[in-house]
Structure 1
Amino acid sequence: MSLLLQFAAYFAACSLALVQADKSVFEPADFDVAAALGNYGVNTSAIASLEISKEQSTESACLAACGTLTSVFGSHRVLAENTPAYNNFTGSFWSAQQEEVKPRCVFKPAKNTDVSVIVLLSRLTGCPFAARSGGHAAFAGASSSPGGITIWFKDLNEVTLNGDKSVASVEPGNVWGQVYKALEPYGLATLGGRASDIGVGGLTTGGGISYYSNEYGWVLDNVESFEVVTASGQIVTASETKYSDLYWALRGGGNNLGLVTKFNLYTIPSPMMRGGARIFTQDHFSDVLGAFVKVVHDAPRDPYAQYYIAFVSAKGANIASAELTYSKDVADPAIFKPFRSIPAVSDTTSSKTLIEQCDEINSLNPIGLREVYWTVAVQLNEEFANWAVDYFFSVLPQVSHVKGINPALIYQAVTEPMLKNMTKYGGNALGLDPAKGPVHLMHISCWWADTFDDKTIYKFVNDFWDTVIAKAKDMGIYNRWIYMNYASEFQDVIASYGDENKDRLQSVAGKYDPKAVYQTLQPGYFKLNRVPAVFPY
């Protein structure tokens, strides 16, 4: 078949992708991968010898896969190693660890059916793949495939509204700043990330804390439906009423169920808001933590407040930076009075648009540095909150010599209103009990300059959390739940959802992906059937 005929057949076959599968057996046991590719106009005769061959090396499999992609889609869609476009891609990740990953090629799909082709081609050749939405992860291999194919969703970036503007359809190549800019002319937003360059895909399938979360819940609780490419290349729309098991699993299940090519998100009004940081010195830490606990408990009485506190050492001084946002343009909301009554060394709070607020937060997160995120959850307890801050600053001198280091202990809460909203539309997969809140969500965010210091940083953070967890267990307040979007590669997120939810996720994955394509060919992290990376230090 000529290349021209391949393209003609490919485009003619696009409509076939929307055919819904038999609900009793989603993928039959005799599913023919090559035939499915043929339905998309991809001639597999040149690579037929590679099909599920144990003798075939990953290197040659990926050479064949990348070559086939290039012949079908052209070099403008498939970035080859050591080209300027390829180097620009690998150099554009948030963390240095992600930049170090070198895929065999980078594929840029232009439509959802292109994604079906790459999944099927991966199955045929055995070449692994990863998918990048925003690329804002703190460890290697999260959204780029070493030696495999990295799917870059950059050109899948439409944002459209339905007829009554109640739902925004957002493709995964968007970052949240793009989404907000597209919706701002309509006076609308969606629940979304709090920094402009965070990607839509990972944040939504892992959780998603928003400036509006006390009112509406997390981002994953505000998805009307997902358009998702399954392991067989079929494209289905999963909602509360159709493929409802898949819909539930995608809300917290991460990259284990399929590749989402469209997030249909409920819209919300987006007026001017208030936001900024109020900075406190160490002699006021106890008051700051008392204010934090009080405001968390007051969340049911005022849903418009959102806040977190970062404890850092800056220019030789230990400080607490309380990021206080209010989703209405109210200068001094009563709920924040506990914070505003504490003397502050600076206060940047002002009226802002959502875009301006997210751009401001984004400016505090430089790219290209070595990064680690690592999280723990406990029952909210003021005594423990004070103890953990004191302990954090007591051990910081252990890593003060590390070049470019900037560690922060960050306090947030999963409030009672957030937990209540997690029961919407059939609930999500996170395993949090709405009756057992609020939850104190703690995480360490740290960047540093040199690979040489990786061992020192990872050991420091691991040892810190070991001590914190032991203390929390002694006090009877430890919560095993781990928030995927703040987790380290060494944490077992899916197990933290509880046995029942893990079993349910595995059952859903087994139905829609019986050959475990998304477990084996998209290795990544936070998988259903694999333990996390082994902590080596």
Structure 2
Amino acid sequence: MPQINSASVSDTELSHLREGFTGSVIEAASPYYEEARTVFNAMIEERPGVIAQCETVEDVVRAVGFGREHNLEIAVRGGGHSVAGMGVTSGGLVVDLRRMNTVGVDPDAMTARVAGGATMSHLDRATEPFGLATTGGRVSTTGVGGFVLGGGTGWLDRKFGLACDNLVSAELVTADGALVRASADENPELFWALHGGGGNFGVATSLTLRLHPLPAVTAALLLWDADAGPEVVRAFRSFMEQAPDEVGGGVLYLTGPPEEFVPEQLVGTLTCAALVTYAGGGQTARDAMRPMLELGHAGELIVEVPYAELQCMLDDPPGLRNYWSAEYLGEFPDEAVDLFCARASQMIVPSASQHVLFPQGGAVSRSDTDYPVPWRRAPWCVHPFGLWEDPADDERGRQWARDIRADMLPWSTGAVYLNFIGNEGTERIVAGLGADNYRRLAAVKRRYDPDNVFHRNHNVKPG
């Protein structure tokens, strides 16, 4: 779809959009424009022509119709965490869902109905009073919609499955302005596509998610000098191969933060850390973590908290420049461990960057569904997660991520969680979804969005 500058949309036409619009319609001259257009990745400087901050489903229908009528490129914004800045567009129209953030919990049915603009914090805070939770991201500021529709991996996935595995139903506004519901019994092919196919098929205005009992989680953040990294990574590898489903976490390199639990010699320097999470509390959690607790770490923070509190503790700072990527590995032998640890020295330090190894397995890999998330079968994920302040570090940060990917290729499955990467080309998208799945998704796309209106995403082109 061609894109035009909003200057060709007259004030009269914008006034027509505002008529009956419950939310706000923001233009470049508005004092709220800069805040409204800003997304998580400070590298993204797109300047949309119109931002439609929707408050109702009817607003969404009206905004999508306006964008199509005036031939504007349409971007859909939920949490704004897309590293490629897909929730914003240059000169076009942003359908901004952030005001649609309510969460309704049905404790008897053990489900939550989540509006399309809700973040993980909205969801987790709503379910916490009932002692319930579902698989969320690894921070509280991620948008639920994009997270779930992309597959959704987090600290609880080994216990409760991927976020999309817990999707009960969804409601979408399609490209022609229709409100469509998808579930296992209603539009089942669309429902299948929403398990990893992302925002290709419409604007998700609500998701219903399955919940699970979870009164508390336990987390242990253990720190070592960077030189201990190879030993720690090998120990974590062995630990996770035997760990129960309740255990999650990751091992990572980071800049030692200036916190009381961090030894002075690690503050501001490259540090190796293990984060071990447990879906539960008490002595059972400590017993499950024991192999890592007995490694002889230099610093520790161990807490038992509600899940929502854990999520907020790990929030990434906004306003930084971001570049992320990932490789999913079929195995992680000693040679891969050594390469992984050696690349840590190329990280930007000090910075908020993290050089991460995530385990999978448990309920993630046991699922027998045919959803388009082929990366669920890999036992390991290497995730260079770059965040820094100075634009002069951009190329260095990108190259570090590319180099670790190149190092891991001998063990890569080829599949990848698309929410972990930016714009890495069509071949990567096809690999992330699976070639057969991509063809099936393209047929669904052709039915619900034949003109590819919703292409600001990891795009599946109409078949």
Instruction: Report how far residue 128 of structure 1 moved.
Output: 1.1
Q: Which residue of 2 aligns with 1:323?
A: 275
Does structure 2 retain, via aligned residues, the 8 Å contact 1:191–1:268? no
User: Structure 1 residues 394 and 87, CA, compared in 2 at 3 Å: closer, same or farther?
Assistant: closer
Does 2:371 match 1:428?
yes
Q: Which residue of 2 aligns with 1:457?
A: 397
Counterpart code for 1:451: P
Instruction: Report how far residue 244 of structure 1 moved.
Output: 0.8
Counterpart code for 2:340: V
Q: Which residue of 2 aligns with 1:179?
A: 123
Once the two structures are superposed, the pairs formed by residues 217-366 of structure 1 within 5 Å of their partners are: 217-299=161-243, 302-314=244-256, 315=267, 317-331=269-283, 332-362=285-315, 365-366=316-317
Counterpart code for 1:240: A
Deviates more, 1:157-166 or 1:229-238: 157-166
Deviates more, 1:305-314 or 1:171-180: 305-314
Instruction: Report how far residue 231 of structure 1 moved.
Output: 1.5
Superposed CA deviations along residues 181-220 of structure 1, whole A, max 9, x for unmatched, are 1122222223222311111111111121233211221101
Superposed CA deviations along residues 337-378 of structure 1, whole A, max 9, x for unmatched, are 22112111111111111121111111xx11101111111111
Does 2:388 match 1:448?
yes
Give the 3-state SS of the residue equivalent to 1:349 in structure 2: strand
Superposed CA deviations along residues 158-185 of structure 1, whole A, max 9, x for unmatched, are 2113472321100022111111111222
Q: Which residue of 1 aligns with 2:108?
A: 164
Once the two structures are superposed, the pairs formed by residues 80-99 of structure 1 within 5 Å of their partners are: 80-91=27-38, 93-98=39-44
Pairwise CA RMSD: 2.4
Does 2:435 match 1:499?
yes
C-alpha distance in 2 between matches for 1:57 and 1:87: 20
Counterpart code for 2:202: G
Instruction: Report how far residue 447 of structure 1 moved.
Output: 1.6
Query: How many residue pairs were aligned?
Result: 448
Q: Report the TM-score when normalising by structure 2.
A: 0.89
C-alpha distance in 2 between matches for 1:384 and 1:498: 27
Give the 3-state SS of the residue equivalent to 1:225 in structure 2: strand
C-alpha distance in 2 between matches for 1:198 and 1:63: 35
Does 2:63 match 1:123?
no
C-alpha distance in 2 between matches for 1:115 and 1:428: 27
Q: Which residue of 1 aligns with 2:262?
A: none
C-alpha distance in 1 between matches for 2:364 and 2:48: 39
Give the 3-state SS of the residue equivalent to 2:145 in structure 1: helix
User: Structure 1 residues 240 and 120, CA, compared in 2 at 3 Å: closer, same or farther?
Assistant: same
Counterpart code for 1:428: Y
Q: Which residue of 1 aligns with 2:353?
A: 407
C-alpha distance in 2 between matches for 1:233 and 1:88: 28
User: Structure 1 residues 461 and 197, CA, compared in 2 at 3 Å: closer, same or farther?
Assistant: same
Instruction: Report how far residue 57 of structure 1 moved.
Output: 4.2
Does 2:21 match 1:73?
yes
Q: Which residue of 2 aligns with 1:381?
A: 332
Deviates more, 1:65-74 or 1:148-157: 65-74
C-alpha distance in 1 between matches for 2:337 and 2:42: 33
C-alpha distance in 2 between matches for 1:447 and 1:63: 39
Q: Report the TM-score when normalising by structure 1.
A: 0.78
Quick check: which one's helix share is greater?
Answer: 1
What are the ranges of 5 or more consecutive residues in structure 2 without an aligned counterpart? 257-266
Deviates more, 1:442-451 or 1:235-244: 442-451
Does structure 2 retain, via aligned residues, the 8 Å contact 1:66–1:104? no
Instruction: Report how far residue 123 of structure 1 moved.
Output: 1.8
C-alpha distance in 2 between matches for 1:360 and 1:313: 16
* Larger Cα-atom Rg: 1
What are the ranges of 5 or more consecutive residues in structure 1 without an aligned counterpart? 1-51, 531-537
Instruction: Report how far residue 298 of structure 1 moved.
Output: 2.0
